[in-house]
Amino acid sequence: MPSLEPGPLGDCTAIIVAHDETTSTTLLSLAQRVGFGQVTTASEPLYPLMFFLVHFGIGRAAKEKLIQQIRATASPLVQLAPIILFAPDGPYDRLLEYIEMGFDDVIFLPEKRHVLAARLAAQVDQEHIYIETGSYLGPDRRRMELPGHTHPNRGSGSFEHKRLTVLRKVDSGPQIVRTQLFLKQNHEAPKHALTGRRTA
């Protein structure tokens, strides 16, 4: 099968996370076909911008632990890297469950190669909104919810949190380009937001 024309993924590393050799090989092949410059099962990337490509078969607890470990890493190259889940096609509720865990995107298979490449490339050179609270750091989990379909375990929003604008570049990796701090609100005072920029 001919390779894709050079694109943004050509200067990115795909790190494969799977539960057995068969599924690991499947994701390795997929990552190579969509144009990643390096594909590995190790955690030492060749390029500043890495993607974690996760097979759904590793189990719920393992998925949650993986996301927590990545987001708790000190280096922003790892902490803010896109974490993409690959799963068989399923109901919308399952998609929301995976989004709630903190995945940047969920791709149901099978899917055409050019669609896969476009979905993955959408993580590059575009701004993405992350939310940081005392117990969560990751993409805004409200982005895929239908009206009236709020997860019961999520807070009401009346708590302190940060709204981070993340930009991922192939030459420098991910960085936070804008931060908004939302303070706790009480009954007398409205919610306040402090906005700042940082380049690293």
pLDDT tens per residue across span 107-164: 999 999 999 999 999 999 999 999 999 899 999 987 655 445 555 444 444 568 899 9
pLDDT at 8: 87
Spatial distance between the Cα atoms of 198 and 200, rounded to a whole number of angstroms:
6
pLDDT at 182: 85
Amino acid residing at 116 = L
pLDDT tens per residue across span 10-57: 999 999 999 999 999 999 999 999 999 999 998 778 899 999 999 999
pLDDT tens per residue across span 181-195: 887 765 444 444 555
Spatial distance between the Cα atoms of 188 and 185, rounded to a whole number of angstroms:
8
**Residue from 135, 138, 176, 184 nearest 158 by CA:** 184
Spatial distance between the Cα atoms of 195 and 192, rounded to a whole number of angstroms:
10
4, pLDDT greater than 70: no
pLDDT tens per residue across span 56-103: 999 999 999 999 999 999 999 999 999 999 999 878 888 889 999 999
CB atoms within 10 A of CB 122: 14
Q: Which residue has the higher pLDDT, 5 or 135?
A: 135
Q: What is the dihedral of CA 128, 67, 48, 116, to 10 degrees?
A: -70
Amino acid residing at 126 = Q
* DSSP secondary structure of 138-155: EE-TTTTPPTT---TTS-
pLDDT tens per residue across span 159-183: 688 999 999 999 999 999 999 988 7
Contacts of 90 (CB under 8 A, 6+ apart): 108
Amino acid residing at 170 = V
Spatial distance between the Cα atoms of 51 and 36, rounded to a whole number of angstroms:
9
pLDDT at 3: 43
Spatial distance between the Cα atoms of 102 and 130, rounded to a whole number of angstroms:
10
pLDDT at 200: 46
pLDDT at 89: 86
Q: Which residue has the higher pLDDT, 149 or 1?
A: 149
